[in-house]
Structure 1
Amino acid sequence: MKIGAHTSIAGGVSNAVDEQLEYDGNCGQIFSHSPQVWQDPSFEDREVEAFRERSTDAGVGPWVIHSSYLVNLCTPKDDLREKSIDSMQREVEAADRLGVEYVNVHLGAHTGAGVEQGLDNAASALDELDVPEGVTVLVESDAGSGTKLGGEFDHLAGVLARSEQDIGICLDTAHLFAAGYDLSTPDAVEETVDEFAAQVGLDVLECLHLNDSKHACGTNKDEHAHLGEGKIGEDGIAALLNHPGLRDLPFVLETPTEDGRGFAWNVERARELRSA
């Protein structure tokens, strides 16, 4: 089972591997820089080599780089579009240097341009990227608030259909739940996975962000909870972990650190629920 957490690159990107091992994780996700600012990734050659070596030696992978929160692929604004494309280009280049397989991105918000135009904008922005061989851009599902796109399977399918890039999908379980896709029972998980398979396709699903939700299904509220302790609950998380169409994918945790528990607790909990 591939299970890990979003880890820090503070003090050097190779430290993310050591942190992952502290959680008993064997795959994971990082930011290449602060996600709150426009900033290019900057890694010294020795750190790149150390990250690659430690990941290989410890058997940790695949890794995902999560793009900046400022990136908005759907935007109708030319300046923001160009900044978003440039930021994503730097991310895929950083992934190539580090040997990271995936760069994860949210579609962003159309801010009044409309769903169809927003999807057109996102696909055309993705098509401007020169993605190195061995790196795949993943479009992440969204919680679906406001004019943000990605909260419906139709949005994900729409971008795939429009883009010439070889794009994959990352489903965030808390986002799915917030957007109205029930995951709280084995039957609900089966129905949601079947719907995704029919509308988008399991063949493009590359990764799952495994998070429980502090809020009810369909609320569009994105706040993560410890596995099995939110509104998705034990039965739903267990069904996700054991679903035959999902179980071989990497599961990346973005669960909170609170109540004296953090990533290590959730990694262990995932393994317990996997065998449930």
Structure 2
Amino acid sequence: MSELRVGAHTSIAGGVSNAVDEQLEYGGNCGQIFTHSPQVWDHGTIDDEEADAFRAESDANDVGPWMIHASYLVNLCTPKEDLRAKSVDSMQQELAAAAELGIPYVNVHLGAHTGAGVEGGLANAGDALDELDVPDGVTITIESDAGSGTKLGGQFEHLAGVQAETDHDLAFCVDTAHVWAAGYDISTPEGVADTFAEFDDVVGLDQLVYVHLNDSKHGCGTNKDEHAHVGEGEIGVGGMRAFIDRSVEEGLPMALETPTENGKSFAWNIERVHELHEGE
């Protein structure tokens, strides 16, 4: 049985190495960061000293693997040339930051095709990805999506489709709240097993490297993306426990993006993950 690796999305406010301290406070041993505000294009810079401290503290405390989440503004599927250019530039900066920080994954949503159609959107994404220079030791990770509107990534076929459109070897991150919203019923152990089997058949489990572990406030197939505390949403205890156990079995690290509400924060959710995995 592989070790349970679970952590939270932590802040780099005051310096990127502070994310490690925050992760330890939550009780996490892996996790995710933004390198800048996800609502703007401006990346700023990461101080070399801070990057060294981040790597040293992560290694010393056995915190990892980390993942960088790309800006919410990035849209790989867009048919608009200006947005595509900004998206490619932003992704290139994220890849450089990952190499500097010793982070193996840069995670990104495919985005919306906005009228180009599924095939056109996936082709656009492949072309955008092929413009990127990916540093050694860093992998682009495509995240599954809730599938609302013209956003792609809600179906596993979209993930396999973008891999076929690019020369890069991609990896993938499954978000439990997103796959649930997209119509994959993971509320039972049987549903979790079926979902993993379908992912393996369509994409390949060897390409699944990370999990965003979130319960959902909305029903299966609603395409509504609103996260809930682990085991307290519509997926529920049975499904979340089964997904956690299978993720551990597959050696997949899990990053929480759960809310801070009702007196419960990341620390509560990390403890809850351990409890569910231990059968409590």
- TM-score class normalised by the smaller sequence: over 0.9
Alpha-carbon deviations, 1:244-275, whole Å to 9, x = none?
A: 68541100000000000100000000011112
Aligned pairs for 1:236-251 (under 5 A) are 236-243=239-246, 247-251=250-254
CA contact (8 A) 1:167 1:204 kept: yes
Alpha-carbon deviations, 1:184-216, whole Å to 9, x = none?
A: 000111111111110011000000000000000
> Please, what TM-score do these two structures have when normalized by structure 2?
0.97
Q: Distance in 2 between matches of 1:96 and 1:245?
A: 26
CA contact (8 A) 1:9 1:31 kept: yes
Q: Distance in 2 between matches of 1:91 and 1:246?
A: 30
1:57 aligns with 2:60: yes
Match of 1:243, SS? Answer: helix
In the other structure, the counterpart of 2:118 is 115
CA contact (8 A) 1:212 1:232 kept: yes
Q: Distance in 2 between matches of 1:52 and 1:245?
A: 24
Q: In structure 2, do the counterparts of structure 1 residues 144 and 89 end up closer, same or farther at CA, with 3 Å as the change threshold?
A: same
In the other structure, the counterpart of 2:204 is 201
1:83 aligns with 2:89: no
Aligned pairs for 1:83-232 (under 5 A) are 83-232=86-235
Q: Which runs of 5 or more structure 1 residues have no equivalent in the other structure?
A: none
Q: Distance in 2 between matches of 1:3 and 1:46?
A: 27
CA contact (8 A) 2:113 2:151 kept: yes
Mean Cα deviation higher: 247-256 or 100-109: 247-256
Alpha-carbon shift at residue 230 of structure 1 (Å): 0.2
Q: In structure 2, do the counterparts of structure 1 residues 5 and 245 end up closer, same or farther at CA, with 3 Å as the change threshold?
A: closer
Alpha-carbon deviations, 1:113-157, whole Å to 9, x = none?
A: 100000000011111110000001100000000000000011000
Q: Which runs of 5 or more structure 2 residues have no equivalent in the other structure?
A: none
Alpha-carbon shift at residue 40 of structure 1 (Å): 2.0
Q: Distance in 2 between matches of 1:244 and 1:214?
A: 22
Alpha-carbon shift at residue 41 of structure 1 (Å): 4.3
Q: Distance in 2 between matches of 1:2 and 1:247?
A: 11
In the other structure, the counterpart of 2:14 is 11
Match of 2:107, SS? Answer: strand
Q: Distance in 1 between matches of 2:228 and 2:247?
A: 24
Q: Distance in 2 between matches of 1:177 and 1:202?
A: 18
* Aligned residue pairs, count: 276
Alpha-carbon deviations, 1:11-42, whole Å to 9, x = none?
A: 00000000000001000000000000001241
Give the letter aligned to residue 190 of structure 1.
A
Structure 1 segments, 4+ long, off by >2 Å, are: 244-247
Give the letter aligned to residue 215 of structure 1.
H
Aligned pairs for 1:39-54 (under 5 A) are 39-54=42-57
1:74 aligns with 2:77: yes
Give the letter aligned to residue 31 of structure 1.
F
CA contact (8 A) 1:74 1:110 kept: yes
CA contact (8 A) 1:41 1:90 kept: no
Match of 1:171, SS? Answer: strand
> Please, what TM-score do these two structures have when normalized by structure 1?
0.99
Give the letter aligned to residue 50 of structure 2.
E
Q: In structure 2, do the counterparts of structure 1 residues 244 and 72 end up closer, same or farther at CA, with 3 Å as the change threshold?
A: closer
Q: Distance in 1 between matches of 2:8 and 2:27?
A: 9
